[in-house]
Structure 1
Amino acid sequence: MGWIIAIIVGALIGWLASKVMGTDSQQGAIANIIVGIVGSALGRWVFGDLLGIGSAQSAGGFSLAGLAFGILGAVVLIWVLKLVGVFK
């Protein structure tokens, strides 16, 4: 059951991040899920572990703080992918 929720939340986070970054037309559903899950882990690591923001540990969770830090992490991931030329 946890994997299903991770996929659903990852898809939501990836879709919202792709809307923010303007890459929605270039990404499909699978890319949104992958970007959302990896972006949430990145958001937890950057904002929670490196910067010490306490509520960032909930990144990727189904709460307001979890979604916000998950989206921030996914936006950072899409930005890096744009730098290396994956998205235009």
Structure 2
Amino acid sequence: MGFLWSLIVGGVIGAIAGAITNKGGSMGIIANVVAGLIGSSIGQALLGDWGPNLAGMAVIPSIIGAVILVAVVSFFFGRKDA
């Protein structure tokens, strides 16, 4: 059950990051989960483990880390509009 809870929280964090960066429409559910989980690791490594915790993830640093991840990935792999 803990693994499922982590996926759900990761998906929500990824969706919030997508909404903040205006990239949420182009990201699917799996991309939201991956962005949330990896962003959580990045955010907690950079900012520490403070604020409210859900499923072992510090929510605020996780969202900040996911925003950074989504912004960097979309910068390098985003569509080039002519």
Corresponding residue for residue 69 of structure 2: 77
Matched, 1:35 2:35: yes
| 1:8 Cα offset (Å) | 0.6
Runs of 4+ in 1 over 2 A off after TM superposition: none
Residue identity opposite 2:50 in structure 1? S
Specify the SS of the correspondent of 1:79.
Answer: helix
**Higher strand proportion, which one?**
2
Structure 2 partner of 1:8: 8
Alignment of 1:36-55 (within 5 A): 36-48=36-48, 55=50
Supply the AA of the counterpart residue of 1:42. I
Q: Percent identity?
A: 29
Task: Name the structure with the higher helix share.
Answer: 1
Match of 1:51 in 2: none
Show structure 2 runs of 5+ residues with no match.
none
RMSD after superposition: 2.1
Offset, 1:39:
0.3
